[in-house]
Amino acid sequence: MVSDTLLADVKKVLGERVSTSEVVRMHHGTDESHHEPAPPDLVVFPETSDEVADIVRLCASHRTPVIPFGAGTSLEGGVGAINGGVCIDLSGMNRIVQINADDLDVTVEAGVTRKQLNQHLRDTGLFFPIDPGADATLGGMASTRASGTNAVRYGTMRENVLNVTVVLADGKIIKTGSRAKKSAAGYDLTRILVGAEGTLGVITELTVRLYGVPEAISAAVCAFPSVDAAIQCCIVTMQSGIPVARMELLDAAQMKACIEYSDLSYQAAPTLFFEFHGSQSAVREHATTVQEIAAEYDGSEFKWAEKTEDRNQLWQARHDALYAALAMKPGARAWSTDVCVPISGLAECIAETRKDIEASSLLATMVGHVGEGNFHVIFILDPNDTAAFSEAQHINDRMVSRAIAMDGTCTGEHGVGIGKRRCLEQEFGGALDTMRLLKQTLDPLNIMNPGKILI
């Protein structure tokens, strides 16, 4: 519960833009993960960085937790108010502040979503490539160091955020950098905030890189006799320096689900979805080369999607992977988890995880952003079957240990939230103490999204 004084003080700042309604609170304590919702005590709707700063200062003086909220699409419990407190809903801060076409960058408020941004950019010949499954806000995407299917070509939020404006735990507003494409000036505060999941401050504005819409785009689907063969094809493709824009793996189980869900005419075999960006002839050439590489690993003929609508259908099927998997078991709930390993270990990591799944009672599919060695397991669970959740946790724990043993990470793009906190000791060892020290320094009262990332 927030105190009456705090509530009154907050209302002085925001007027009617506060809510204690149960529905609103529950919505803001719920994400897209398997974690239990944890509603905040109060939800506020600021419209400027100054208002956010006022709220944070009030919360600091009341030692009350502050939880930033974008689109609520976290996959590891990032928005749950596990210690109560005030949820700062940033969706009202959704202005496109400034497009700099010559500089290939744009400054936006934190509540702008990726689809909103690309819609806004549609007449400029530019686009923003980072595409996590959900239509997340850019503030949320920065906070979880999000990526998606284009990361193999365009990088993740780590590489694409030029600066952030952030409200620190004491209510101070700082801007972490300039719009320069590179800088050797001082400590990289931008990248301390990117991926901090709101535990070091609330991102209220950010500048991100943009890219020219490619002259030609072409997509293709190729089936392989095994996951291993598909991954070998990816390794050789990467070594050849072919700038594939997307290179997505779906395992046989996921393909089966997608074929049934979207009525596709593909095989239920391990499959790569490719996309190529560039000039007409570059796209043609890259595709031909990759096709030759695929053939060496017994890949099927490429099924092409060159027209926009065919391509959209293909990627819609990929983006619907979660819903397709869910449709395999009506009434089920999904638990999506991810790890990322050096690509040389990817086939083994997937195979061993598949073995664990087969040895369990669970239904699960796998999809991967293969270029970066990142893959997801989607467990399809009966929401009332607690034993099944324990089994999933066990398989997840083993997968994380396996990834870390291969010099990989416990999460490539979902973030830590509350779900992966126990993994950090194993992944970082003594470096975890340095992370704790940073948290204590930048948030001495432990009010910024407390209980996330660090236990």
Q: How many beta carbons lie within 10 A of that of residue 284, not counting itself?
A: 14
Based on CB atoms, which residue is closest to its own copies, 17 or 120?
120
Residues binding its own copies: number (CB under 8 A): 99
Is residue 182 involved in binding its own copies (CB under 8 A)? yes
Whole-angstrom distance, CA of residue 311 vs CA of residue 23: 39
The residue behind tokens 């996959």 is: 75
Whole-angstrom distance, CA of residue 11 vs CA of residue 88: 13
Is residue 151 involved in binding its own copies (CB under 8 A)? yes
Based on CB atoms, which residue is closest to its own copies, 96 or 189?
189
Q: Least distance to its own copies from the beta carbon of 328, Å?
A: 27
Tokens of 348: 């083994």
Instruction: Choose which of 243, 261, 329, 382 interacts with its own copies (CB under 8 A).
Output: 243
Based on CB atoms, which residue is closest to its own copies, 283 or 380?
283
Based on CB atoms, which residue is closest to its own copies, 131 or 391?
131
Stretch that binds its own copies, among 30-38, 169-177, 256-264, 307-315 (CB under 8 A): 169-177
Is residue 422 involved in binding its own copies (CB under 8 A)? no
Based on CB atoms, which residue is closest to its own copies, 348 or 385?
348
Based on CB atoms, which residue is closest to its own copies, 5 or 288?
288
Instruction: Annotate 64-74 with b (16+ C-beta within 10 A) or e (fewer).
Output: bbbbbbbbbbb
Is residue 147 involved in binding its own copies (CB under 8 A)? yes
Q: Least distance to its own copies from the beta carbon of 208, Å?
A: 13
Contact between 170 and 57 (Cβ < 8 Å): yes
Is residue 453 involved in binding its own copies (CB under 8 A)? yes
Residues 78-137 close enough to bind its own copies by CB under 8 A: 100-105, 125-126
Instruction: Choose which of 68, 214, 419, 450 interacts with its own copies (CB under 8 A).
Output: 214
Residues 216-235 close enough to bind its own copies by CB under 8 A: 235
Whose CA is closest to 225, among 302, 291, 298? 298
Whose CA is closest to 76, among 121, 34, 43? 34
Whole-angstrom distance, CA of residue 403 vs CA of residue 387: 24
Residues 389-418 close enough to bind its own copies by CB under 8 A: 403-404, 407-416
Instruction: Choose which of 360, 435, 445, 446 interacts with its own copies (CB under 8 A).
Output: 435
Based on CB atoms, which residue is closest to its own copies, 304 or 428?
428
Is residue 427 involved in binding its own copies (CB under 8 A)? yes
- Name the burial class of residue 310, with classes exposed (0-12), middle (13-18) and buried (19+) by CB atoms within 10 angstroms of its CB: middle
Instruction: Annotate 103-133 with b (16+ C-beta within 10 A) or e (fewer).
Output: eebbbbbbbbbbebbbeebeeeebbbbbbbb
Contact between 80 and 38 (Cβ < 8 Å): yes
Q: Least distance to its own copies from the beta carbon of 420, Å?
A: 7
Whole-angstrom distance, CA of residue 337 vs CA of residue 403: 12
Based on CB atoms, which residue is closest to its own copies, 255 or 406?
406
Whole-angstrom distance, CA of residue 262 vs CA of residue 256: 10
Stretch that binds its own copies, among 44-52, 240-248, 308-316, 376-384 (CB under 8 A): 240-248
Q: Least distance to its own copies from the beta carbon of 387, Å?
A: 28
- Which x/- pattern over 330-349 shows residues binding its own copies (rule: CB under 8 A)? ----------xxxxx-----
Q: How many beta carbons lie within 10 A of that of residue 26, not counting itself?
A: 13
Instruction: Choose which of 25, 34, 62, 145 interacts with its own copies (CB under 8 A).
Output: 145
Amino acid identity, residue 92? G
Is residue 196 involved in binding its own copies (CB under 8 A)? yes
CA distances from 246 to 5, 46, 288, 295 (A): 52, 37, 15, 19
In which region does residue 148 sit, left (phi positive, over 0), alpha (psi from -120 to 50) or beta (all else)?
left
Based on CB atoms, which residue is closest to its own copies, 173 or 264?
173
Is residue 289 involved in binding its own copies (CB under 8 A)? yes
Based on CB atoms, which residue is closest to its own copies, 39 or 373?
373
